[in-house]
């Protein structure tokens, strides 16, 4: 053992440090994630049902199921992005945790927040290059997984 | 010339005095438990359009404040030792670019205040330098951006996380007689206890802190009882508990211990988890609270140990352990 | 009454998917970025074996709005495109299906970078 602390081994210290770690308030965190995450989904369902309701039926904007789903996503992404731009979404995140990270609004937040933060490093290498520092992995692994299952589906049919 | 005693400690022979100190902090620090000790405060961006420029302004403001307090021009200062957390220490260099003072950039992560104070004391003790300024800075927003996530990204931090202090602290060392003097410095060795969680800096730094304090006690033959106060850098609440426990194990219990990271924020009302961190943390607490209370005679002999976690975003992503370092400086009245 | 049950299920399914992610966040050392990747990839595979469509039938937006639903869209988009255009569909279907959300976020991000500044919320 190098260093000055001859009576403290690495193993001993790792147990000691782990025992001192304060516990996250798991129940409270989960409850908030559940409530706020559920609420965001509920809002989306409300929007979708409104789009599908008779309200638009009489004009050119009548929605089918697929169209309504796409516009709902659009509106939810807009809401997440808008709340980020007016400096509110991170406050929700502090309380909701995964409840605001997992819904599509969190995806919007993860793209808009670095865009705002890296504005200070210019539009090309700042905003342009850094916009996907958080959302990039989701797109890389999501699309790759989709290509994989697509390939299997293609070969089976 | 400083005398080496033991393995790591140097006794300052030619008196080195703390002439004056200044600090400028951010809004969270001003609102914290030590708020009344901080005379000057500014928003994190200091009115600039980037966090980084803002941090540089904190550095410049702390220097200006110190020079104004002492009513001296920059010509009277032989050199300034400064460091921060930004890539390649740009907050210090940009902040001091118009100072016209010879500049040494130093980096010891959050231990930088201890490092600059130790080096500054040795320079003055060496005889060639008469007035040396030791300073550091950090900025919550710039640190979040560099080490963690964009400010507006929603999410939570674990309870072990620490909150970077916004602010800069500067201390003027001199060889003309003043109340408080530097008597010993104990530079620390790097301690590696294989901590890899970047959200648990306290655990990474606690062994290094204990290592330096233990070396200091062994070298000088002193114990905690010889000090009115042992003040550590920014171990935070969790790290402080670990530090005291490690000291107990090695037979040097410390009961008269305070930690800058614990002192600066109220974790219950300020949402700061395990406490403050960053180069600026120990700098502003030392430059305002500790030195002022020493000046008023509350404490007469203080062991100041600034602690740092040596890492970079790259080293963490590559799975390297977070190394600890701590530098000790003894401040004494009379 | 039927409507009420439907909305209750949306809330329950959406909330539960978020709560599971919260347990992973608190109980493991997984970062949120890793959990999101796990979610989207799981969504793709659950959708491919036909399980996720069943959850969507129960939970509606409670299943499509969480990131698992993003994976579900990617997968269903690829399947549909393969049905329509064969091999080429493997590459066009996925992103095509989720393009609305991504393009909206990118364009809004760009606009936000011009008009809005990040702020520090200090207590």
Give the pLDDT confidence of B186-245 residue by residue, as tens digits: 999 999 999 999 999 999 999 999 999 999 999 999 999 999 999 999 999 999 999 999
Domain boundary among B115, B139, B174: B174
Average pLDDT over every residue of A29-40: 97
The answer to whether the Cβ–Cβ distance between C13 and A150 falls below 8 Å is: no
Is B161 in the same domain as B266? no
The answer to whether the Cβ–Cβ distance between A113 and B152 falls below 8 Å is: yes
Provide, as residue numbers in chain B, all residues whose Cβ is less than 8 Å from the Cβ of C25. 156
The answer, yes or no, to whether residue C123 has pLDDT greater than 80, is no
Provide the CB-side half-sphere exposure for C109 (13 A, CA).
32
Burial environment of residue B207 by CB neighbours within 10 A (0 to 12, 13 to 18, 19 or more): buried
Provide the number of structural domains found in chain B.
Answer: 2
Is B40 in the same domain as B160? yes
DSSP B49-75: SSHHHHHHHHHHHHHHHHHHHHT--GG
Range of the domain at C69: 2-115
Which secondary-structure segment (H or E) carries A48?
helix A26-52
Q: Domain for residue C62, yes or no?
A: yes
* Contact call for residues B147 and B84 (beta carbons, < 8 A): no
**Subunits with 3+ C-beta pairs closer than 8 A to A:** B, C
Q: Domain for residue C121, yes or no?
A: no
Domain boundary among B149, B174, B199: B174
What's the CATH number where B167 sits?
Answer: 3.40.47.40
The answer to whether the Cβ–Cβ distance between C101 and A73 falls below 8 Å is: yes
C32 and chain B in contact, CB less than 8 A: yes
Q: What distance in Å separates the CA atoms of residue A92 and residue C14, rounded to the nearest whole number? A: 17
Task: Name the residue among B145, B152, B194 with its Cβ closest to that of A14.
Answer: B194
Q: Which residues of A touch B (CB under 8 A)?
A: 2-8, 10, 13-14, 16-17, 20-24, 29, 84, 87, 89-94, 96-97, 100-101, 106, 109-110, 112-114, 116-118, 120, 134
Interface size, chain A vs chain B, as Cβ–Cβ contacts under 8 Å? 118
Is B315 in the same domain as B211? yes
- What is the reported pLDDT for A58? 66
Is B11 in the same domain as B150? yes
The answer, yes or no, to whether residue A18 has pLDDT greater than 80, is yes
Interface size, chain A vs chain C, as Cβ–Cβ contacts under 8 Å? 264
Percent of chain A with pLDDT over 70: 96
Is B283 in the same domain as B242? yes
Is B152 in the same domain as B185? no
Is B10 in the same domain as B143? yes
Provide the number of structural domains found in chain C.
Answer: 1
State pTM to two decimals. Answer: 0.95
Is B308 in the same domain as B187? yes
Helices and strands per DSSP (H, E), number in chain C:
6, 0
Banded model confidence at residue A59, pLDDT cuts 50, 70, 90: low
Is B170 in the same domain as B184? no
- What is the reported pLDDT for C1? 54
- What is the reported pLDDT for A64? 86
The answer, yes or no, to whether residue A21 has pLDDT greater than 90, is no
- ipTM of the complex model: 0.94
Domain boundary among B154, B174, B194: B174
Selection from A2, A140, A69 nearest residue B190 by Cα: A2
Taking the CA of residue A61 and the nearest CA in chain B, the distance in Å comes to 34
Taking the CA of residue C8 and the nearest CA in chain A, the distance in Å comes to 8
Range of the domain at B51: 3-174
Which secondary-structure segment (H or E) carries B231?
strand B229-232
The answer to whether the Cβ–Cβ distance between A94 and B211 falls below 8 Å is: no
Is B139 in the same domain as B204? no
The answer to whether the Cβ–Cβ distance between A119 and C117 falls below 8 Å is: yes
Banded model confidence at residue A60, pLDDT cuts 50, 70, 90: low
Tell me, rounded to whole angstroms, the distance of Cα C68 from its chain centroid. Answer: 4
C27 and chain B in contact, CB less than 8 A: no
C120 and chain A in contact, CB less than 8 A: no
């Amino acid at each position: 053992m190098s260093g000055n602390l001859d009576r403290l081994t690495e193993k001993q210290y790792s147990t000691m440090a782990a025992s001192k770690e304060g516990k996250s308030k798991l129940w409270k965190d989960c409850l908030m994630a559940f409530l706020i995450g559920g609420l965001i989904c509920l809002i989306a369902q409300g929007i979708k049902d409104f789009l599908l309701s008779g309200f638009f039926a009489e004009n050119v904007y009548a929605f089918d199921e697929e169209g309504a789903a796409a516009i709902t996503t659009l509106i939810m992404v807009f809401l997440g992005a808008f709340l980020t731009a007016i400096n509110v979404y991170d406050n929700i995140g502090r309380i909701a945790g995964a409840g605001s990270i997992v819904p599509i609004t969190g995806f919007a937040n993860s793209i808009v927040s670095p865009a705002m933060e890296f504005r200070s490093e210019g539009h090309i290498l700042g905003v342009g290059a850094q916009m996907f520092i958080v959302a990039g992995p989701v797109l890389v692994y999501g699309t790759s997984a989709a290509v994989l299952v697509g390939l299997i589906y293609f070969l089976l049919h | 010339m400083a005398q080496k005693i033991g393995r790591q400690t140097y006794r300052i022979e030619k008196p080195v005095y703390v002439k004056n100190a200044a600090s400028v902090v951010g809004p969270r620090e001003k609102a914290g438990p030590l708020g009344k000790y901080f005379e000057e405060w500014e928003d994190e961006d200091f009115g600039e359009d980037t966090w980084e420029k803002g941090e540089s302004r904190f550095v410049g403001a702390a220097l200006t404040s110190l020079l104004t307090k002492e009513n001296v021009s920059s010509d009277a200062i032989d050199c300034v030792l400064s460091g921060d957390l930004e890539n390649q220490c740009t907050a210090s260099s940009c902040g001091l670019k118009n100072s016209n003072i010879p500049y040494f950039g130093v980096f010891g992560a959050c231990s930088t205040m201890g490092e600059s104070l130790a080096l500054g004391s040795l320079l003055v003790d060496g005889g060639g330098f008469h007035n040396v300024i030791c300073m550091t800075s950090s900025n919550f927003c710039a640190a979040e951006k560099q080490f963690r996530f964009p400010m507006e990204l929603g999410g939570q931090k674990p309870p072990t996380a620490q909150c970077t202090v916004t602010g800069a602290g500067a201390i003027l060392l001199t060889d003309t007689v003043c109340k408080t003097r530097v008597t010993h410095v104990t530079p620390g060795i790097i301690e590696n206890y294989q901590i890899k969680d970047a959200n648990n800096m306290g655990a990474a730094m606690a062994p290094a802190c204990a290592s330096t304090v233990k070396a200091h006690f062994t070298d000088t033959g002193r114990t905690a009882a010889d000090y009115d106060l042992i003040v550590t850098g920014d171990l935070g609440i969790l790290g402080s508990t670990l530090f005291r426990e490690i000291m107990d194990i090695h037979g040097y219990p410390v009961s008269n211990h305070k930690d800058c990271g614990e002192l600066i924020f109220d974790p219950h009302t300020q949402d700061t988890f395990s406490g403050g961190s960053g180069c600026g943390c120990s700098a502003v607490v030392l430059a305002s609270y500790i030195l002022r209370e020493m000046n008023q005679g509350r404490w007469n002999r203080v062991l100041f140990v600034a602690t740092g976690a040596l890492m970079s975003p790259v080293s963490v992503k590559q799975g390297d352990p977070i190394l600890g370092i701590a530098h000790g400086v003894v401040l004494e009245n009379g | 009454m039927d409507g009420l049950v439907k909305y209750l299920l949306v809330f329950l399914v959406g909330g539960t998917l978020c709560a599971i992610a919260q347990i992973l966040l608190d109980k493991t050392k997984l970062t949120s970025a890793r959990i999101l990747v796990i979610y989207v990839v799981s969504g793709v595979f659950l959708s491919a074996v036909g399980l996720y469509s069943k959850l969507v039938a129960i939970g509606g937006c409670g299943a499509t709005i969480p990131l698992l639903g993003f994976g579900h869209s990617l997968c269903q988009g690829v399947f549909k495109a393969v049905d329509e255009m064969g091999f080429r569909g493997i590459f066009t279907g996925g992103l095509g299906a989720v393009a609305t959300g991504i393009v909206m976020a990118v364009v809004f991000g760009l606009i936000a970078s011009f008009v809005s500044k990040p702020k520090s919320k200090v207590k």
